[in-house]
Structure 1
Amino acid sequence: MSKKDIDEVSGIETTGHEWDGIKELNNPLPRWWVWTFYATIVWAIGYMIFYPAVPLINSATPGLLGYSSRGEVRAELDAAELAKGDYVAAIREKDLAEIMADDTLRQFTTAAGAAAFKVNCIQCHGSGAQGSPGYPNLNDDEWLWGGDIDAIHQTIAHGIRFAGDADTRLSEMPAYGEILQPEEIRQVAAYVVSLTGTPSNAALAEAGATVFADNCAACHGDDAAGNRDLGAPNLADAIWLYGSSEADIAQQIRAPKHGAMPAWSTRLGDATVKELAVYVHSLGGGE
């Protein structure tokens, strides 16, 4: 029987292996650790037998229990759809006034509308509905076509300048570059700026008041506060879709841009349009 080799420094038995004067100590793992390791192997084998584990070309081994994570998710989604089914049915059956009067249903409709908004509306109005140049901010209380729940629903359902819907919102500002002289356009632009700020030339603004009264007041009003029946914006609130400088305003007078919005009723259905209307109204419906 060979004699045990004991390391002089640590006093631990070595395995007899040595590299460049460094001896390998014989320090076996604790028994509890070894048995735990064996248990994990047994657990892994059992898992492979009972659950999907080994990848195949188009799937994986099904396991004796027939469990599927996809099936579990599908069951949870089906349960969620069933749970909200009564609410969705109520949204379809009730009108907007009834939905708004029921706190529980209104809260559910608002949450559903927020989800629909993220899918369908943020591309133009932004993730926070804050808008961008040419696309209105939906968080304030300024509305082109009215901010009550019915007006918002009408706009979402039938769109704006959407050729495929007979009930779409329609308004178009004339291209005054073909009607007014360049000097008159500069004058009326200066006047519009004077409503909320300081024009570059007070004399131009004074003359522009007359041009405005003769050509613009019919739609925007004598006080330039706009007309929601026509979709004519309020020009005295410092809120602008296409820029607020005199040059921007002059360009819009000269050759106006006309935004368009799809009619969502045919794309999303009546229930989702109601959800969107309630959600948007919750952001900035001031009426």
Structure 2
Amino acid sequence: MADRHIDDISGVETTGHEWDGIRELNNPLPRWWLWTFYATILWAIAYTVVYPAWPMLTDATRGMFGYSSRNELAREVATAKAAQSAITDKIAASSLGEILADPQMTQFATAAGAAAFKVNCVQCHGSGAAGGAGYPNLNDDDWLWGGSAEAIHQTIAHGIRYADDPETRVSEMPAFGEILKPDEIRQVAAYVVSLTGKPRDAAMVGPGKQVFIDNCASCHGEDAKGNREFGAPNLSDAIWLKVKGEAEIAQQVRQPKHGVMPAWQARLGDSTVKELAVYIHSLGGGE
């Protein structure tokens, strides 16, 4: 064992480490610090005995107190639901018109609907409800099936082209590639573009209008403003769900795409569907 070395200036023993002639002093830690450190060790041991702590192969130690963060969360949720039960029960028993006529119910339903939207709807419609390619923007006043709270509720509750719900909204545009000639499809696409923009060949607009009246007006209307009874979109407002240009319009006429929306009534319950309807109506319900 090497001889102990005492620093000449401070009188403190050194550790034996030396760098470039500088020796490291071996100053002991303060007693209060050591006792605090020992106390934290004892506290940690006691904590792991009292509370769940040690993982095992298929489970974990339960702790002497039997504490569970899951159970605590369940109690807090139950407490919150109990506190809200008066207004939630009132919403469940009220029509949409009654909810919208009551400021307190409207405020609660809008907030609850916003929360439900973030859990169930953002995957398709986006966090801001602005939609995307093939998914409608819910912030504007352009509605395939109507923008009243009742119409929105029907759509949410029963979905669109959802095979498992007999009350789902159903409409399908025919595949006109099996009905019209290729030139007629290009003509009607030019006419539809002319309603909101400039087609590539203006000479095709006149014949395209006649093709439209003969084949498309029964659903979209002679003025091309759509028909919410059939879920037929307004083609004169430059708001497009599935297409962007003349070639895509022609392809939609030739072989249309049909989206599907799930029915949420069975999954979420009528109260939550009402809350969603109130929230979405607050974003862009135009009726």
Place the TM-score, normalised by the shorter chain, in its bin. 0.7 to 0.9
List gaps (5 residues or longer) in structure 1: none
Whether 1:185 aligns to 2:193 is no
CA gap 1:254/1:52 in 2 versus in 1, 3 angstroms: closer
Give the TM-score, by structure 1 length: 0.87
1:59 to partner: Cα distance? 2.2
Distance 2:56 2:164 in 1: 50
SS in 1 for 2:111: helix
Q: Which residues in structure 2 correspond to 1:246-265 (within 5 Å)? A: 246-265=246-265
1:60 aligned to 2:54?
no
Q: Size of the alignment, in residue pairs?
A: 283
Q: Superposed, which structure 2 residues align to 1:230-269 within 5 Å?
A: 230-269=230-269
Distance 1:18 1:131 in 2: 67
Distance 1:260 1:53 in 2: 47
Check the 8 A contact 2:54/2:61 in 1, yes or no: yes
Moved more, 31-40 or 173-182: 31-40
Match of 2:214 in 1: 214
**Conserved in 2, the CA contact under 8 Å of 1:125 and 1:135?**
yes
How far, CA to CA, are the matches of 1:12 and 1:229 in structure 2?
Answer: 97
The offset of 1:69, in angstroms, is 2.9
CA distance in 1 between counterparts of 2:225 and 2:15 reads 97
Query: Deviation digits for residues 95-132 of structure 1, max 9, x if unmatched?
Result: 11111122222222222222322333233222322222
Cα displacement (A) at 1:286 = 1.4
Identify the residue that residue 276 of structure 2 maps to in structure 1. 276
1:189-227 deviation per Cα after TM superposition (whole angstroms, max 9, x unaligned): 101101111110111112212222222222212221111
> Displacement of 1:5 after TM fit?
5.3
CA contact (8 A) 1:238 1:244 kept: no
Structure 1 position 223 matched with structure 2 position 185 = no
For 1:7-156, list aligned pairs within 5 A.
Answer: 7-8=7-8, 10-15=9-14, 17=16, 23-57=23-57, 58-63=59-64, 65-156=65-156
Distance 2:132 2:62 in 1: 51
How many percent of aligned residue pairs carry the same amino acid?
64
CA contact (8 A) 1:51 1:67 kept: yes
Q: Distance in 1 between matches of 2:100 and 2:72?
A: 35
RMSD: 2.5
- Amino acid in structure 2 at the alignment position of 1:230: F
CA 1:60–1:209 in 2, change beyond 3 Å: closer, same or farther? same
Q: CA offset at residue 145 of structure 1? A: 0.8
Change (3 A) 1:31 1:97: same
In structure 2, relative to structure 1, the CA distance for the partners of 1:27 and 1:267 (3 Å cut) is closer
Distance 1:28 1:154, change over 3 A: same
In the alignment, structure 2 segments of 5+ residues that lack a partner are: none
Matched-pair contact (CA < 8 Å) for 2:129–2:137? yes
TM-score for the superposition, normalised by structure 2: 0.87
Q: Provide the secondary structure at the position in 2 that maps to 1:130.
A: coil
One-letter code of the match for 1:11?
S
Q: CA deviation at 1:55?
A: 4.4
Measure the CA separation in 2 of the matches of 1:252 and 1:73.
Answer: 50
Q: How does 1:151-166 map to 2 (within 5 A)?
A: 151-166=151-166
